[in-house]
Structures are given as C-alpha cells and as structure tokens.
Amino acid sequence: MAFTSLAFLIFVTAVVIVYYLTPDRHKWIVLLLASYGYYLQASAKSFAFILVTTVVTFYGAKYIDREDKAQKAYAKAHKAELSRDERKALKEAANKKKKRILTLVLVIDFGILIVLKYFRYYLEVLGIGLFKGDILIPLGISFYTFQTTAYLIDVYRSKYDADTDLAKFALFVSFFPQIIQGPIARHDQLAKQLYEGHPFRYANLAHGSQLMLWGFFKKLVIADRIGLLVGEVFTDWDQYTGWPVILAALCYSIQLYMDFSGGVDIARGVAQLMGIDMTRNFRRPYFGDSLEEFWHRWHISLSFWTRDYIFFTVALSKPIGNLGKKARKIFGDRIGKMVPVFIGNYLVFLCIGMWQGGELQNVCYGLYNATVICLADILEPYFVKWLKVLHINPSNKAWMAFKMIRTYCIVSFGRIFSNGKSFKASIHMIKSLFIPYTGGFMNAYKEFALTKYDYLVLAVAIFVVFLVSVKQEKLYNAKQAASGGGGGIIEMAGDEEGAGTDAEMREYLDKKSLAVRWGLYILLFTAVLLFGIYGPSYDPAVFIYREF
C-alpha cells in the first residue's frame, strides 16, 4: 500500500475518521492497530523482526531505568552513612550493570539490521554462498532500528524515564506514517503526542492536507518524471559518456530530494491530520553554501542521530582526546584540534553511506563526503585569504549563489557513487564525465523516454518548488532573526526537538483569504491530477528510501 496509491488514501481516511470518533484515552489503540495493520499488509513475513526489536528494547530500557533509579534512591537514603568512595563504588557497579544491558540490546537490534541488510553481501564478496534466494529486508528497518536505539541510549543517559507500557511503546516504534520514510523521531518529541488523544480541529485537517498535497506534487509530478531520465543513464551506465552522464547526475539530486522530501511531507501530513507534529527532515538543503551546511539541512533527523550517538561519543572520548593532543604536537594547534573532529566525521559519514547499503560504492560515498568536509576545514584560512586578494565580498549575492551552485555540483558528483549500480559502474560513470558524447544530441534525447511536454512540465514544476522554497527560507530566517536565532547547527537544534513543523509557511497561508487559499489548493491538486506520473503501468510503491 504505497503512499501514492488510492488504497493508502482510503486507509488514511478510515483511520482519521475512527481516530476522531474514539474517546481520547483510547485513540492510541486506533493508531497501534492501524500501524500494525499497515505493516502486516506490507511486510507480513518480516513482522517478527520489528516485534523482537520492540520487546527487547522496551525491557532493556526498563531494566536500565530501574537500576539507575534504585542506585540513586539507595544513595540518597543512605547519604549520611556512605562515604564518598562508597557512593562512587555503588554508582560504578550500577553503571556496569546498565552498560551490560545496553550493549546486549544494541548487539541484538543492530545485529538484526546487519545480518538482514549487509551480511549476505559481504559473504558473497568473500565467495561464501551461505544464503539461497532473496532475503526479505523488513520495511523501514533502518528507521525503526535507529529510533529504538536512540531511545535506549537516552534512557541509559538518564535523559528521560523508560516507557512503562509495552503496547504504547510498540506504537512509538511502528507508527505507520513514518515507517517508510521517517523522520527518525526522538521519544521525548513524539511519544507523548501518540499516547495522548487529540481533539478534532479543522486546522489539523487543513495543515495535514497541505503537506500531503505538496508531497504528492514533488513525488508524482517531478521525482517520478525525472526518474525516467535518471534511470535510463544509471541503468545503462556503459552506454553513455559526456553530457548525458553529467545531466543524469545533476538530475538525480533533484529526483532524490523530491522523492524523499515528498514522501516525508506525505508522512508528516498524515500525522498532522490527527494533530501529531513530526519533526521536519529537510530545510531547503540545496540552499546550503557548503557541503557541511548541506548536511545540516538534509535528512536532519539522521544527521542529528549520527551527531548525538556517533560523533560526540567518538570525538569526545578519552582515547581520541589523547590522540588529538599528540596530533597538536606534530601538526600544530589548529590541525591537531581538528583530528578528533575528522575522526568523528569519517565515522559519521561511513554510517551515512552504509545507511544506503553495504556495497563498496556506498562506503565510497560516505568517505567522499567526509573527505570534502575535512579538506574544506583545513583550507578555510586559505580561502579567506584568496577572497581578500580577489576583492570578493563574502556576503555578495552573486558569490553566495556561486557557492550554492558549487555545493550542488559537489553533492551531485558524490551521488554517482550512491546511485551507481556497482562500484565498477560508479567509477566508469565518473570517467565517462570527461569523455565527449558522440551519439548525437537527438539520439540521447529520444532514449531518455521524455517528451518536450515532459521537459516543460519539469521546468515549470521545479521552478514552482524553487519559488516556494525561497519564500520558506525568507520566512524562516525572518522568524529566526525575530527570536534571536543564531543560525547554523545551533538554531537547528530547535528542529530536532519538534519546532520544525513548517509553522512559518502555515502562518503565512493562514493569513491569506479563503479564496486565495482554496485557489492554491485547487491549482496544486489539478497539477497533480493532470501532470502526475501514474497509471496502469506505473508502480507507485518504489520510493527510493522505502527499504532503508
């Protein structure tokens, strides 16, 4: 039941109706039944895996929470009797128990993910044919694994108490709108919204429908149409050289953004219909003027996950800190201080690359991004000097536009790895970028399976998204300036905690007259109906991130 199918729309309509007809205290049960029903029809054979992850994580977190509270309660009750060393010993003993359970649950959760998603590939690379036939990868396995492990680690760090109701926790893990596309939710941001009942509000239906319609527009009108061109070149990668490869790489960046962000818009829109705000996962990533800022804006929930549970854990660890001290003696203070950051970045982007698969080209994709970001940090002082020598104003609009275009090209080049059919195919396509295409413009144009009508629709649709994105960015920046937001990674922390609900654009549209709002809705709905790619031969189930 794909997000873009009629069956899904009927399913969502039924869920919303039943949700609002149910008493508030029982609404979460409706969501749980809907979520498990959705998962069973989509991935019944792998349903046991999400159940195992749910149960193991729930009881693991509960044990950790109980040990933590018991230790603190005992220390408080016997404060006068215990020496400082005894209190320290009690805490260390409790931490050892907690760490053992944490490690065990992480091994089970990530073990399931690794075996199902990566193990077979690496065995085959080693020439070991242990598995026969296809291995079914559970729907959304990376999303729900990362979400549950984040919850477990947060409980271990005493960020909040463990959940006490297994059924409610099962809803947090399996909430159906996010199971395919995410975002990766934090327990303290989403769980309470799921467990409490939300009364009917017209504004929720209006705002949810807006997001869903916008997601359908990006997915059906743009992503699936431009995918015809991209798919042709990346599938027959050994048949093209020169400009068709360059065009396909540039277009894939558009396709992926429209597909992924469109799917997330639909997911968040469905949740909003019932008054549930899921954190935003994108903030106009192609407006980033560096690769680092691009990643601050792209797949925000994954970026924050890797920051909090990989980067800080590694970069702030004692062994890496000692390595940084040694590096400062060898390379000087500036470069030496960067060494822990570089190590953290490489591990983060290795994780991001392997998020998409264990194949060598995905590993290279992660290492490519880490290398570019690390080189940019090393060379930053020289860039500043060059700007002064060339008399370039860093705040000049033309220069900022150049940096955005440069970043887009850097991102698109890297995605030759992430979308390549194999490592060999990716390397061949990179070499092909520099070999002139000799097949003739019209021959390639016809092979792309796009007509002049398709190119016109794409141009207009992409321009519409661009104009809307510019307006969203202006509204967002104005709101940040009014609230004293500083920009960059600091101000984006608000997105992580649930502030990223696209409130700026909603407030802007809500101020418009009823005629203007409905005129826009009808126009967008008509565009999806007339220009969307669907029909008897179209498979709407293929979201790029569907099995991540």
As a whole number, mean pLDDT of residues 155-184 equals 92
Q: Which of 7-11, 35-39, 207-211, 238-242 has the lowest mean pLDDT?
A: 238-242
| pLDDT bucket at 93, cuts 50 / 70 / 90 | confident
Confidence of residue 541 (pLDDT cuts 50, 70, 90): very low
Same domain? 66 vs 189 = yes
Domain ends where: 144, 176, 200? Answer: 200
Q: Do 503 and 539 belong to one domain?
A: yes
Question: Which has more pLDDT, 370 or 494?
Answer: 370
Mean pLDDT value across residues 433-442: 76
Is residue 46 within 8 A of residue 134, CB to CB? The reply is no
Q: Does the residue 378 lie in any domain?
A: yes
Is 8's pLDDT higher than 60? yes
Separation of alpha carbons 457 and 525, rounded Å: 15
Residues 196 and 206 in one domain: no
Based on the domain organization, do 46 and 166 belong to the same domain? Answer: yes
What does the alpha-carbon distance between residue 536 and residue 137 come to, in Å, rounded to a whole number? 26
Please give the pLDDT value at position 215. 93
Are 45 and 86 in the same domain? Answer: yes
425 lies in a domain? Answer: no
For the chain, the domain total comes to: 3
Quote the domain boundaries for residue 383.
288-419
Residue with the bigger pLDDT between 278 and 4: it is 278
Query: At 362, phi and psi to the nearest 5?
Result: -75, -35
Q: How much is the average pLDDT of 524-542?
A: 69
Residues 466 and 351 in one domain: no
> Does 502 have pLDDT greater than 80?
no
Retrieve residue 326's tokens: 């040694």
Alpha carbon of 105 to those of 95, 129, 150, 158, 312: distances in Å? 15, 29, 12, 17, 21
Whether pLDDT at 493 is above 50:
no
pLDDT band of residue 232 (cuts 50, 70, 90) is: confident
Res 42 pLDDT > 80: yes
Least confident of 68-82, 125-139, 339-353: 125-139
* For residue 238, pLDDT beyond 70: yes
Which pLDDT belongs to residue 124? 65
Q: Specify the residue for token string 């591990």.
A: 347
**Same domain, residue pair 96 and 82:** yes
List C-alpha distances in Å: 417 to 148, 249, 294, 344, 368.
29, 10, 18, 22, 9
| Per-residue pLDDT band at 489 (split at 50, 70, 90) | very low
Closest Cα to residue 428, out of 418, 413, 416?
416
Mean pLDDT within 12-35: 95
Q: Decide if 427 is inside a domain.
A: no
Across 543-548, average pLDDT: 53
Mean pLDDT of all residues in 84-89: 83
Q: Which band of pLDDT confidence, cut at 50, 70 and 90, is reported for residue 20?
A: very high
* AA identity, residue 153: I
Mean pLDDT of 333-357: 89
Q: What is the pLDDT of residue 488?
A: 39
More confidently predicted of 121 and 155? 155
Averaged pLDDT for residues 403-420: 94
Q: Which residue has the higher pLDDT, 73 or 106?
A: 106
Same domain, 226 and 195: no
Domain termination residue (choose one: 389, 419, 449): 419
Which residues, including other chains, have CB under 8 Å from residue 166's CB and lie 6 or more apart?
A: 54, 55, 58
Average pLDDT over residues 42-69: 92
Please determine, for residue 509, whether its predicted confidence score (pLDDT) is greater than 60: yes
Name, of 263-267, 386-390, 479-483, the range with top average pLDDT: 263-267
Cα distance between residue 542 and residue 136, in whole Å: 16
CA distance linking residue 518 with residue 194, whole number of Å: 30
**pLDDT, average across residues 73-79:** 81
**Which residue would you say has higher pLDDT here, 182 or 273?**
273
Using only the alpha carbons of the chain, give its radius of gyration: 25
Comparing 134 with 301, the larger pLDDT belongs to: 301
What average pLDDT does the segment 120-127 reach?
67
Same domain for 220 and 260, yes or no, is yes
388-393 contact pairs (CB < 8 A, 24+): none
Domain boundary among 376, 398, 419: 419
Specify the range with the lowest mean pLDDT, choosing from 122-131, 165-174, 264-273: 122-131
The mean pLDDT value for 197-202 works out to 92
**pLDDT bracket for residue 127 (50, 70, 90):** low
What does the mean pLDDT of the chain come to? Answer: 86
Looking at the structure, tell me whether residues 271 and 309 fall in a common domain.
no
Query: Quick check: 259 pLDDT over 70?
Result: yes
Ramachandran area for residue 124 (φ above 0: left; ψ -120 to 50: alpha; else beta): alpha
Q: What average pLDDT does this structure show over 491-508?
A: 55
Q: Give the pLDDT band (50/70/90) at residue 534.
A: low
> Considering the domain boundaries, does residue 426 fall inside one?
no
pLDDT at 367: 94
Between 445 and 44, residue with greater pLDDT: 44
In a domain, 269, yes or no: yes
439 and 325, same structural domain? no
Q: Is the pLDDT assigned to residue 444 strictly greater than 70? A: no
Confidence of residue 4 (pLDDT cuts 50, 70, 90): confident
What pLDDT is attached to residue 495? 44
Give the residue, 129 or 391, on which the prediction is more confident: 391
Say if 1 falls within a structural domain.
no
Is residue 342 domain-shared with residue 400, that is, in the same domain?
A: yes
